[in-house]
Amino acid sequence: MNIESIETFVLELPLTRPIVAAVSTGDRGSPCGSVFMPCVKVVTDEGIEGIGYAWCIGGGGKAMNRVLCDDMSPLLLGENALDHERLWEKLYWATQPTGRHGLVMQAQSAIDLALWDIKGKAAEMPLHKLFGGMRDRAPLYGSDGGWLNMSVEDILVAAANYLAEGMYGIKLKIGHADPMVDVHRLRDIRLALGSDVWISVDANQKWDYTTAIQVGRELEQLGIAWYEEPMICENVVGHARLAEKLDVPIALGETLGSRHEIGSFLQANAVDIVQPDITRVGGMTEILKVIAMAGAAHRTVEPHLMMEASVHLACGLPGVTGLEYMPWLTKAFTDPPQVKDGQMLAPTAPGLGLEFSPRAIEHFRIA
């Protein structure tokens, strides 16, 4: 089943609400209003078409597209589309001097998704069945209603909607210049929602170790489910110290670009909940290895974003406990996975079970 042609393009999808999240240094910046989605279609000589995609905010989408077109596609034409491991290695080593992580790895991830889509279609099975068929739906938590630029009142409205839909909880952003602003906001939200509601927080790498400890102590008092990316993502030692000192679980992994980086945190006991992002870590091929590593270390996995593809992991494997509901990319697909009673249903179509929407391509294509 040889690869006959590859098509790539980029969509710029508008967000339902402008967002502001913390950053590791400097000002938090102006609200962002769109997300970029590099897309790829891989067609085989047997007529099977696989689709893959990545995502990014703040730029990089067109650069990924150039990597896909100029550096990766020529290496794949004529190759057997079912040889996903060999082709992953081929692309990795061809681009390793300038790649390894970042936009080059995200481009490779899009291709890897397309190859897995082809594999599932060739087997006439959805990917979650190929992965193990653990369950037919996965629980969701709401993650698009707690941004730093939202008031407490707006967050409570969003939370009420998620909880009414049956989702098991919500995630909120923290990371104001004065961390006590976050603490006071969280206290108000916890008081309004009650002690039984599941709440996690994400600092997006905002603080140094001292501040992270101080905030973590406050989070423990508020019964927060996990403390996500409190410090810059490269700080393995700092997160290990933090995990040892705090009772609130440390969650991270979304910004890490390989199984090797995530493995360093596991080896150092620096993470309790592993959050790999399919597009940042290297596609399905690599995230399956990350999940296996996390399982061997007795850590649970909560994939970051990419819920339309991550649902196959959550429904296929026992170590993936839930999904982050973030509907940024949903409008790009003709028939995205359905949500019922706060859970995402496993797709029944073969492969990813996704098709790009012609209308979305017409309206949002930029490259």
Assigned domain for 165 exists: yes
259 and 119, same structural domain? Answer: no
Assigned domain for 352 exists: no
pLDDT at 30: 67
65 and 195, same structural domain? Answer: no
What 3 state SS string does the chain have?
CEEEEEEEEEEEEEEEEEECCCCCCCCCCCCEEEEEEEEEEEEECCCCEEEEECCECCCCHHHHHHHHHHHHHHHHCCCECCCHHHHHHHHHHHHCCCCCCCHHHHHHHHHHHHHHHHHHHHHCCEHHHHHCCCCCEEEEEECCCCCCCCCHHHHHHHHHHHHHCCCCEEEEECCCCCHHHHHHHHHHHHHHHCCCCEEEEECCCCCCHHHHHHHHHHHHHCCCCCEECCCCCCCHHHHHHHHHHCCCCEEECCCCCCHHHHHHHHHCCCCCEECCCHHHHCCHHHHHHHHHHHHHCCCEECCCCCHHHHHHHHHHCCCECCEEECCCCHHHECCCCCEECCEEECCCCCECCCCECHHHHHHHECC
The 10s digit of each residue's pLDDT in 150-163 is 999 999 999 999 99
Assigned domain for 177 exists: yes
Q: What is the mean pLDDT of residues 36-53?
A: 97
311 and 200, same structural domain? Answer: yes
239 and 337, same structural domain? Answer: yes
Structural domain of 259: 128-345
| CATH, residue 239 | 3.20.20.120
Q: Which of 148-152, 266-270, 283-287, 350-354 has the lowest mean pLDDT?
A: 148-152
How many structural domains comprise the chain? 2
138 and 100, same structural domain? Answer: no
Percentage of the chain exceeding pLDDT 70: 97
* Upper half-sphere CA count for residue 242 (Cβ side, 13 Å): 33
**Which one has a higher pLDDT value, 20 or 13?**
13
Assigned domain for 269 exists: yes
CA distances from 329 to 134, 247, 271 (A): 25, 34, 28
Percentage of the chain exceeding pLDDT 90: 90
244 and 100, same structural domain? Answer: no
146 and 22, same structural domain? Answer: no
pTM higher than the cut 0.85: yes
Assigned domain for 350 exists: no
Q: Do 367 and 10 touch, CB atoms closer than 8 A?
A: yes
| CATH, residue 61 | 3.30.390.10
Active site residues: 173, 304
pLDDT at 326: 95
pLDDT at 134: 97
Assigned domain for 222 exists: yes
**Mean of all residue pLDDT scores within the chain:** 94
116 and 87, same structural domain? Answer: yes
pLDDT-derived band of residue 33, with 50, 70 and 90 as boundaries? Answer: confident
297 and 184, same structural domain? Answer: yes
pLDDT at 367: 72
Assigned domain for 86 exists: yes
Residue 320 falls in which region: left (phi positive, over 0), alpha (psi -120 to 50) or beta: beta
Q: What is the mean pLDDT of residues 167-183?
A: 95
Angle formed by the axes of helices 209-221 and 236-245, nearest 10°: 30
120 and 132, same structural domain? Answer: no
Q: pLDDT at residue 23 above 60?
A: no
201 and 135, same structural domain? Answer: yes
